[in-house]
Chain A
Amino acid sequence: MPDDLKCLVIEDGDADFRLIEHHLGRTGYPIRCSRIQTTAELAGALDDPAWDLILSDYNVPGMRFETCLPMIVARQPDTPLVLVSGAIGEEKAVALLKQGVWDFVLKDSLERLKAAVDYSLREAKTRRRLKLTETALHETLLRFEAAKKASGLGIYDHDIRTGRLDWDDRVRELWGVPPDEPVTYEMFLAGLHPEDRGRIVAALAESWDPRGSGEFAVEQRVVGLKDGKERRIAARGQTSFDGEKPIRSIGTVFDVTEQRRTENELAEALMEKSRLQEAALTATIDLYHAARLTLLGEMASTIAHEVNQPISAAVNFLHAAKSVATDPIVRGFLDDVDAQLFNVAAIVQKVRDFAANRTVHPAPQRLNSIVAEAATLGLLSKTERDITLCLAVPEDLPEVLVDIVQIRQVLVNLIRNAAQAMAGVERKELTISAAFAAERALVELSVADTGPGFPDEIRQHLFTPFVTTKPDGTGLGLSTSRAIIQAHGGQLWIEDDETGATIRMTLPIAAADA
């Protein structure tokens, strides 16, 4: 059961009011009437927003309808207002309609009131719906604009039959077309990067083909007609068809310049990272390989040297014996021993040659890059992170003539030694410096730490193979390093005091003529 319709009646005459009430009762609607007859009452009544209908007499003493009308329209714009009066002129009626009166009923034909109420209520309902729709549409538009703005989307609309192009502000901005200038297909083409033009035109044509899906999705370079700036623009559109005919294409464009740049940078950074990792791995493997080979070579050389010593002594003793032996049989045996001893000496010589030949493959190298690599490799582990590294290797040093793998290994050895030596001290500074000694045609390189220096009892044996201060050392580090440097025609020596140890070495330069 619907609520009663609330009807406001502006009427001074009692008889007229009753008549109106009577006719309203015959409309078939459940209607409840409220009667007023002063302007003050009207103002109060308009505070109540729930009126479904307002009926007003034109001539109420003390109330000028021309004054009351704007008040009613302003405060209750959606409530139907029907004028119930004596005859008024046609012109007057038109003027009042324009000002917001919905309908007229003459007092002498109140039977028409039902039609007027029907019309008014129907019209009110329609107007309410329209208003809701408008509000919703407006809201949708607002949201759409906000979303468009936030996303940076631009929208185009192409009427294919007329060729008319409709671009929004964003598309115009990207192409560099002023907001008030009509957009032409030529402008669209002119904005495309020449290298992309053919491809885009082809994709567009394909999207107009009724046999296809009508979809258009491309990425293109657009050169702003105004700012000349190149942007990467992604476009997506959809063509609608009338049978076999493409009629309209609507779509969006989006500036992906920044996104692609970031993606490229990321990809490059990732590639650079993996390249560096690979290089570090290769260098580590080289180093490991070289260290093992050098260790083998050094062991072979050391053993050969150590074996030579007793052989030499044996040969001397043998010859002393031969000098004093008189028995020919004994002398024969001694000759046999002599021959065998020289066989041993020959084998040792072969081992030594192997150890010596395996070593140096010199090539011109830039010392600063070797030093940088060695520092990276030598200070890889976590415990060495707190060491301050100072590299003073000038860029313009002449190239040195060295076996890069071996020299790198020497440097890594020295850097690791230095790092270990500084494990227990407060100030941890590792300084690697180099200088060119032009008059001697060599480069002097030093690795200095701020450790405690070498203990006296160790210093004497620093270069003796198999003597080590470390629990897991081979005792070949420094002696190997010196052997490598000497094999390069350089020297390696040590300077140390309580403020730290410095290992110095000389290396030959590559271009002696330079």
Chain B
Amino acid sequence: MHDITIHVIDDDATFRASLRAMLETNGFVVIEYGDGDAFLEAITPSPQGCALIDVRMPGMDGFALQRHLHDQGIEIPVIVITGAADIPTAVRAMKAGAVDFLEKPFHPSALIDAIKSAHSRSTNQAGSEPEIAAFRARLAQLTEREREILEGIVAGLPFKIIAHRLGISPRTVEVHRAHIGEKLGVSGLSNLVRFALAASVVSGPKWR
């Protein structure tokens, strides 16, 4: 038993119930909220556990909720769940302080891994200082083009826009991104963005 409290903020009651069933059988404690307001009302200043937030909700959406949490100084690891993942959405979520980003439908084990890893870290921390330092060191291995593309991704631009501005095909951008991940030793878009943000990779002048 983990005894980790999971705050599920999603407007879809069925989905909330399914998460509860799956997480509770895996030893987590689940509290459900139908919208962001309900969560903000109930949450204590230093909450335990972690929050699963759906991006697409009527009224206050996931990004707005993240902003409220940040503005109110509430520190809780946030995992963002979305029905339609694209790079700009992922980057926005990560920049807003999410520790992970999952696209529906995800494998339950992926969510459980994300929760465990989020819980073991402090909020909005990509990894330990040595991990970030290692990531920063590996950044030097990137070619100029790969570095440009990484900065474009961090700027939250769609691949097609990045491709156009660099005068290459979106497919090539995709290949570059895979290489970037390999060189930097991170898997998945959310890890890439999280580490890049932690290592202060900023969107270069080309992407402003």
Contacts and interface: CB of A to CB of B under 8 A. Distances in A.
Interface string A144-183: 0000000000000000000000000000000000000000
Nearest to B207: A512
A319 B108 contact: yes
Given A309-B12, A464-B58, A512-B165, A316 B18 contact: yes
Given A352-B84, A362-B160, A317 B105 contact: no
B105 A345 contact: yes
A258 B28 CA distance: 92
Nearest to B103: A308
Q: Is the interface of B mostly helix, strand, loop or mixed?
A: helix
B21 interface: yes
Nearest to A403: B160
Contacts of A323: 22, 25-26
Given A308-B83, A488-B158, A489-B156, A460 B59 contact: yes
Contacts of A486: 88
A101 to B, nearest CB: 113
Interface residues on B, range: 20 to 34
Among A301, A305, A363, max chain B CB count under 10 A is at A305
A368 B25 CA distance: 59
A315 B104 CA distance: 10
Contact of A312 (B106, B161, B207): B106
Nearest to B170: A357
Contacts of B156: 489
A440 interface: yes
Interface in B1-46: 12, 14-15, 17-19, 21-22, 24-26
A310 B14 contact: yes
A362 B161 contact: yes
Interface in B139-190: 156-158, 160-161, 164-165
B164 to A, nearest CB: 5
A372 B119 CA distance: 54
Interface in A429-479: 439-441, 460-461, 464
Interface in A92-126: none
Interface residues of A, number: 38
A439 to B, nearest CB: 8
A183 to B, nearest CB: 71
Contact of B161 (A305, A489, A513): A489
A464 B61 CA distance: 13
Nearest to A301: B84
A297 interface: no
Contacts of A401: 161, 164-165
Contact of B104 (A301, A308, A440): A308
Contacts of A191: none
Contacts of B18: 312-317, 320
A311 B158 contact: no
19 contacts: A305-B83, A308-B105, A309-B83, A310-B14, A315-B18, A316-B21, A317-B18, A320-B18, A320-B22, A320-B25, A323-B26, A324-B25, A362-B160, A363-B164, A401-B164, A440-B208, A441-B208, A489-B161, A512-B165
Interface of A: 301, 305, 308-317, 319-320, 323-324, 341-342, 345, 352, 356, 360, 362-363, 401, 439-441, 460-461, 464, 486-489, 508, 512-513
Given A301-B84, A309-B83, A460-B59, 20 more contacts: A305-B83, A309-B15, A311-B105, A312-B106, A313-B15, A313-B18, A316-B22, A317-B18, A319-B25, A320-B18, A323-B26, A360-B158, A360-B160, A362-B160, A362-B164, A461-B58, A487-B160, A488-B158, A489-B88, A513-B206
Leading 7 A-B pairs by shortest Cβ distance: A316-B18, A320-B21, A323-B25, A313-B18, A316-B22, A312-B105, A319-B108
